[in-house]
Amino acid sequence: MLSQIRHIQKGVLIVVCVIIIIAFAFLYSDYDSTGGNANTAFVVYGKGYRQKEARALSNSFDVAIKLGMYDFLRSLFGEGRQDDDRTDYILNLVILREEAKRLGVQPSAEEVKKAIPNLPIFKIQSWAGEDYIRNNITGPLGFTDADLYQLVKDYLSWQQIHELLASGIEATPQEIDQIYTRNYQRIDASVIAFSRADQEKALKVSDKEIETYYEEHKEDLLSQEKRSGSYVHIMNSADKLQEGATKEQQAEFAAEQNKRALEFNKKVAAVYEEMAADKADFKKVAKKHQLKVVSTGLISLTDVPKELEDKNDVLRAVFGVKKEQPLSSPIQQQDGSYYIVHLDELNAPEPQPLADAKEAIVKVLKTRKSGEQLQAAAAKAQATINEALTAGKSFAEAAKKAEVKTVKLKAFSSKEPPKETENARLIVETATGLKIKELSGIVNTPTGAMLVYVDKKVIYKSAEEQQRKGMIKGQLSYMDSRTLYQAWFLQKREAAKPQRSSRVAPPQS
């Protein structure tokens, strides 16, 4: 009997062990074949990736930043983005790896090894070595040598795919000549300026016009929103590297600075956490941490006190936070310090009586009228000058007939805009697109409008011509490879049928 029970127990234990193993495999596997699990971060090529693996892939983003792989990151993360959602970067990284395999683009171990000493960081910080990378970049982020190998392999794959797609495509001599001419031709031109301020001087606005405008827009004529806030400035002490320091001393200094920066950031996070707690008193928490609280007073965006004129981040925070969430997140400055801002009071905009709104109404009406008169004056001058030029008159004679003042500019080019000239870049852009002896259309400027007339365009011989054309050819090749890569990758991404299930944020330090 006892032996039978033991035999049954043995079978039961085996079954239980199998169930436990299956459960653990299901719960902790990085692979989700269905892609529908609540713990799935994203799905690509029909394969689901759980949060655990997504966070591991996300770690490479921070390492890539510190290694200076900026073009690589922009390509995978997205141009011009300001958020910290890493999901697109991770998803695109997985697609890059898969498509590189399909193309047979697999950098060898020897290629990866040779690439590491040539990473962008070594050009920025020439004194840094592989030990510095390990001790100050990859190590603190939990990045192993194997992880670094994979990241550099991804970086090389990305570069090689660019080269592969662009192979056989070369800018034509005509394209290069066209851009060279546009950039370096010397242009003789004249400008006729029409000033909005001059038009406004003679303008008058009647009381009737003011009253009519007020009645039509009084719901929009509100007083300015006013706010008051308090802020603290959390600063970190800074040391200077002694002159003539050796590479070892530079590396030690950098390591110590990184350590202190990490400790300082933890302190900032602790202060912020206390201030953000329910029913926390901003001033009491600041006092506890020996931080000086500065009040902005009641201000509007058009009535900023002098002491806040150079504190744009503080102003943006005061007018950016909500009444329901009055605390800003820590705002880092270029020197590594932080501001934390608290909204104390908010006076919402209210309808203005006519007497208070009158000045603003007069300004609006004058701007409207002066704009209409300015466009009419410029159009009349343009028509008169073009008529005279068609009749064979010189530009000087045509301008005299139109009764406008012209300003002849010194010869300029796209690379060397006219010096000390208002709207110089706009003049260059307009003149570049004109033929010789041609008058432009009306060009609006911040202060009014202008007409541009091109008298002559000359391209002079230069000893640097071939070098400049070589640079233009390189720039065109780079732009072509980027354009081709973006079009190719977009196609591959669509084929991969990606699905985002959640947001992957940066790891918390």
Mean pLDDT for 381-402 is: 96
Same domain, 21 and 44: no
Contact assessment for residue 204 and residue 427, using Cβ atoms and an 8 Å cutoff: no
Q: What is the domain extent for residue 15?
A: 1-32
Summarised one tens digit per residue, pLDDT across range 240-274 is 777 777 777 777 877 787 788 888 889 999 999 99
Asked if the structure places residue 479 within a domain, the reply is no
- Which position has the higher pLDDT, 30 or 240? 240
To which H or E segment does residue 139 belong?
none
Same domain, 65 and 83: yes
Asked if the structure places residue 177 within a domain, the reply is no
Asked if the structure places residue 173 within a domain, the reply is no
The pLDDT mean for the chain works out to 85
Q: Is 497 left (phi over 0), alpha (psi -120 to 50) or beta?
A: left
pLDDT for res 104: 93
Closest CA to 180 of 432, 411, 435: 432
Listed residues 306, 324, 347: the one ending a domain: 347
Summarised one tens digit per residue, pLDDT across range 272-319 is 999 999 999 999 999 999 999 999 999 998 888 888 888 889 999 999
Count Cβ atoms within 10 A of the Cβ of residue 275 and give its class: 0-12 exposed, 13-18 middle, 19 or more buried: buried
Same domain, 27 and 53: no
Same domain, 374 and 301: no
Asked whether residue 26 carries a pLDDT value surpassing 90, the answer given is no
Closest CA to 73 of 102, 81, 130: 81
Mean pLDDT for 369-384 is: 94
Contacts of 501 (CB under 8 A, 6+ apart): 35, 40, 41, 42, 43, 48
Provide the 3-class DSSP secondary structure of residue 343: strand
Checking 251-258 for CB contacts under 8 A at 24+ apart, the result is: 251/127, 251/128, 251/129, 251/131, 251/132, 254/128, 254/132, 254/136, 255/132, 255/135, 255/136, 258/136, 258/140
**Residue found by looking up tokens 């406008």 in the block:** 404
- Whole-number Å distance between alpha carbons of 96 and 258: 32
Same domain, 275 and 337: yes
Asked if the structure places residue 150 within a domain, the reply is yes
Asked whether residue 79 carries a pLDDT value surpassing 90, the answer given is no
Same domain, 112 and 2: no
User: What are the backbone dihedrals phi and psi of residue 453, each rounded to the nearest 5 degrees, phi first?
Assistant: -120, 130
* Residue 443: alpha-carbon gap to chain centroid: 29
pLDDT for res 37: 55
Q: Crossing angle, helix 465-496 and helix 145-166, to 10 degrees?
A: 110
The pairing of beta strand 293-295 with beta strand 47-50: unpaired
pLDDT for res 502: 61
Same domain, 83 and 157: yes
Asked if the structure places residue 477 within a domain, the reply is no
Same domain, 5 and 39: no
pLDDT for res 5: 42
- Whole-number Å distance between alpha carbons of 4 and 11: 11
Asked if the structure places residue 474 within a domain, the reply is no
pLDDT for res 177: 84
Mean pLDDT for 368-374 is: 91
* End-to-end Cα spacing for the chain: 60
Amino acid found at 307: E
Asked whether residue 449 carries a pLDDT value surpassing 80, the answer given is yes
Asked whether residue 23 carries a pLDDT value surpassing 80, the answer given is no
Same domain, 47 and 146: yes
DSSP 60: H
Asked whether residue 408 carries a pLDDT value surpassing 50, the answer given is yes
To which H or E segment does residue 423 belong?
none
The pairing of beta strand 448-458 with beta strand 293-295: unpaired
- Whole-number Å distance between alpha carbons of 240 and 257: 10
What's the angle, vertex CA 407, arms to CA 404 and CA 408, rounded to 5?
130
Asked whether residue 20 carries a pLDDT value surpassing 60, the answer given is no
DSSP 409: P
pLDDT for res 14: 53
Q: Looking at 98-112, 119-133, 382-396, which range is the least confident one?
A: 119-133
Mean pLDDT for 414-434 is: 91
Same domain, 27 and 95: no
Contact assessment for residue 374 and residue 196, using Cβ atoms and an 8 Å cutoff: yes
Same domain, 74 and 119: yes
Asked if the structure places residue 466 within a domain, the reply is no
pLDDT for res 34: 43
pLDDT for res 10: 52
Count Cβ atoms within 10 A of the Cβ of residue 423 and give its class: 0-12 exposed, 13-18 middle, 19 or more buried: buried
CATH number, residue 369? 3.10.50
**Residue found by looking up tokens 């692979």 in the block:** 31
Asked if the structure places residue 450 within a domain, the reply is yes
pLDDT for res 345: 94
- Whole-number Å distance between alpha carbons of 60 and 66: 10
Cα–Cα distances (Å) from 41 to 3, 52, 287, in that order, read: 50, 9, 42
Percent helix, strand, coil in the chain, to 5, is: 55, 15, 30
Summarised one tens digit per residue, pLDDT across range 194-229 is 999 888 888 889 999 999 999 999 888 998 899 999
Same domain, 45 and 127: yes
* Maximal CA-CA distance, the chain: 125
Summarised one tens digit per residue, pLDDT across range 38-68 is 578 888 898 888 888 888 888 899 899 889 9
To which H or E segment does residue 68 belong?
none
Summarised one tens digit per residue, pLDDT across range 161-182 is 988 887 777 778 888 888 888 8
pLDDT for res 298: 93
| % of the chain with per-residue pLDDT over 70 | 90
Query: What is the total count of domains within the chain?
Result: 4
Listed residues 347, 382, 415: the one ending a domain: 347
Closest CA to 186 of 434, 457, 472, 452: 457
